[in-house]
Amino acid sequence: MKTLVTGASGFIGSAVVRKLLGRGKEVRCYLEPGAPRANLDGLEVEILEGDVNDRSRIAEALKGCDTLYHLAAIYAIWLKQPERMYEVNVEGTKTVLWAAYKANLDKVVYTSSIAAVGRREDGRPADETVPFSPSDWADGNGYIRSKWLSDRDALRFAREGLPLVVVNPAFPFGERDIAPTPTGGFIIGAIRGKVPGYMDGGFCAVDVEDVAEGHVLAAEKGRVGERYILGNHNVSWKDFLTLAAKVAGVKPPSLHFPRWLAMGTGWAMEKYSTKIAHRRPLATYKSMVYTAQNLYFDNTKARRELGLPSTPLEDSLQRSVRWFREHGYA
């Protein structure tokens, strides 16, 4: 039997494919038509193209498979067509999981996000039990809201009998970030000297290889209907950007941006992109509202039940910086 991976050519998806091939699995990759395939070059995989909302195509892709990893999603802080976020991340997830429900699979791993996990008011790292709150909804951008909604849908499928496990990756770093992701964008900005300062708050970082291993471990060991946070390093923005600058051999940021200035800068960047540049900004108002907090998470459950590995953050940054430079991003 084969394993189907949607979004297989993406940053995390291609890392999952490599982990599966390393375990001797036969992998079928389901890609959006026209999606870049560079991350799959040289890999012995089967490739099918189709939309995540094409029910018949998804059903065809699942034939002969016993396991599904659904990673296909839009990860962005800004889109020219913001409705696409909902169409792909929410409706697409329901379409794929409904097809999986009818296909009688052995295991399904759905890739959610820590954005779908709530935050503690006292700032302590949140675990899988912390619920998404009205303030999370108000502070969240379109991506955060779409992942929360699709996370709920996935768990509902599990309650209805689909053998599904949810993984909630933190902010990943590493090689093959071709998009690049918003998190990769911060590294590129630091290398180019476009991040002169740091803001309050911090986040949970993780090596993309650890995230990929966590996916495969979730299929092997994860309990149906459970969520697992795939994150390793709770780090402040100041410490992260200082370490990134050290690894890149550039001057570390020295300015402290208060919360109001960070949000104002995000608002200005978003307006410029929407009305003039028509390309993705480095930050938006909503992304600054969200990231200027202590977005710290507790991975105890994933370490205890799955055996989630932990790569040192500096090692992840070294590979990320090297890859971006070798491929002309910075």
Rounded CA-CA distance 303/290 in Å is 26
* Maximum separation of any 2 CA atoms in the chain, in Å: 56
Q: What are phi and psi of 315, to 5 degrees?
A: -65, -40
Rounded CA-CA distance 168/227 in Å is 7
Count the domains in the chain: 1
Note whether residue 319 is domain-resident. Answer: no
Instruction: Name the one residue in this structure whose structure tokens are 């991040």.
Output: 195
Three-state DSSP at 227 gives strand
Note whether residue 192 is domain-resident. Answer: no
Domain limits for position 221: 2-177+205-234+297-312
Q: Residue 166: enclosing H or E segment and its boundaries?
A: strand 164-169
Note whether residue 47 is domain-resident. Answer: yes
pTM for this predicted structure: 0.92
| Vertex 324 angle, CA 318 and 330, to 5° | 115
Could you list the pLDDT tens digit for every one of the 330 residues in the chain? Answer: 999 999 999 999 999 999 999 999 999 999 999 898 999 999 999 999 999 999 999 999 999 999 999 999 988 766 677 788 899 999 999 999 999 999 999 999 999 999 899 988 887 999 999 988 766 665 667 888 899 999 999 999 999 999 999 999 999 999 999 988 877 888 898 888 877 788 888 999 999 999 999 999 999 999 999 999 999 999 999 999 999 999 999 988 888 888 777 778 777 877 777 777 777 766 776 777 777 788 999 999 999 999 999 999 999 999 999 999 999 988
Note whether residue 241 is domain-resident. Answer: no
Note whether residue 193 is domain-resident. Answer: no
Rounded CA-CA distance 234/206 in Å is 9
Q: Residue 109: enclosing H or E segment and its boundaries?
A: strand 107-111
Contact between 161 and 136 under an 8 Å Cβ cutoff? The reply is no
Note whether residue 100 is domain-resident. Answer: yes
- Identity (one letter) of the amino acid at 204? C
Q: What is the CATH number of the domain that holds 30?
A: 3.40.50.720
Q: What are phi and psi of 111, to 5 degrees?
A: -90, 105
Note whether residue 252 is domain-resident. Answer: no
Note whether residue 255 is domain-resident. Answer: no
